[in-house]
């Protein structure tokens, strides 16, 4: 026996077609939610985009799984560390005294090259994030 259609006028219904949830609203809500989550993620990490830190270390040290550098006790090491504030343009560089000599010119050049590459990477990241935001906005407009 077939199930009765309660919407059929013969069975006392109005006969009008009542659309069921096609999932479109759910897709729209999901995309909006993903966009909002993405924006929140970017906002929380925007501080990370404003500072670039470059470290060059020569000597005995350990690096853990979180990329934290631990210098070994009683071992010799030399360090160059630069922190660049990409908003203000302030650059602070710490250099071990020995690295100022001509013998370590190669290391200073290497460090300077890493600073340049770091700038390029940050600029690329900022452009990629801006493009993703534009894409999400465009997609959400098309769905409306």
| Domain ranges across the chain | 24-143
What integer is the mean pLDDT of 86-100?
87
Q: Is the pLDDT of residue 123 over 60?
A: yes
Cα angle for residues 43, 45, 49 (degrees, 5° grid) = 110
- Can you give the pLDDT at residue 80? 92
DSSP bridge partners of 128? none
Model confidence at 23: pLDDT above 60: no
pLDDT mean over 83-105: 88
pLDDT of 102 over the 60 cut: yes
pTM for the full predicted model = 0.55
User: From residue 97, how far is each of 80, 94, 100, 102 by CA, in Å?
Assistant: 10, 9, 6, 12
Q: What is the pLDDT of residue 18?
A: 47
Q: Is the pLDDT of residue 25 over 60?
A: no
Can you tell me the distance from the alpha carbon of 30 to that of 136, in angstroms, rounded to the nearest whole number? 12
Q: Which of 8-22, 25-39, 81-95 has the highest mean pLDDT?
A: 81-95
Residue of 51 and 2 predicted with greater confidence = 51
* Distance, CA of 73 to CA of 42 (rounded, Å): 39
Contact 119, 11 (CB under 8 A): no
Q: What percent of the chain has pLDDT over 90?
A: 16
Q: Using DSSP, state whether 60 is helix, strand or coil.
A: coil
Position with higher pLDDT, 38 vs 5: 38
Per the CB < 8 A criterion, the answer to whether 55 and 69 are in contact is yes
């Amino acid at each position: 026996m077939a199930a009765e259609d309660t919407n059929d006028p013969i069975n006392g219904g109005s006969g009008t077609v009542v659309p069921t949830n096609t999932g479109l609203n759910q897709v729209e809500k999901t995309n909006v939610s993903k966009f909002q989550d993405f924006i929140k993620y970017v906002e929380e990490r925007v501080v990370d985009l404003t500072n670039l830190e470059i470290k060059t270390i020569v000597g005995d040290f350990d690096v853990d799984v979180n990329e934290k550098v631990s210098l070994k006790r009683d071992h010799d090491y030399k360090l160059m560390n630069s922190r660049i504030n990409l908003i203000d343009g302030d650059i602070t560089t710490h250099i071990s005294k020995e690295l100022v000599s001509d013998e370590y010119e190669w290391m200073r050049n290497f460090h300077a090259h890493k600073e340049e590459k770091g700038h390029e990477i940050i600029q690329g990241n900022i452009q990629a994030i801006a493009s993703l935001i534009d894409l999400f906005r465009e997609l959400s407009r098309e769905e409306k």
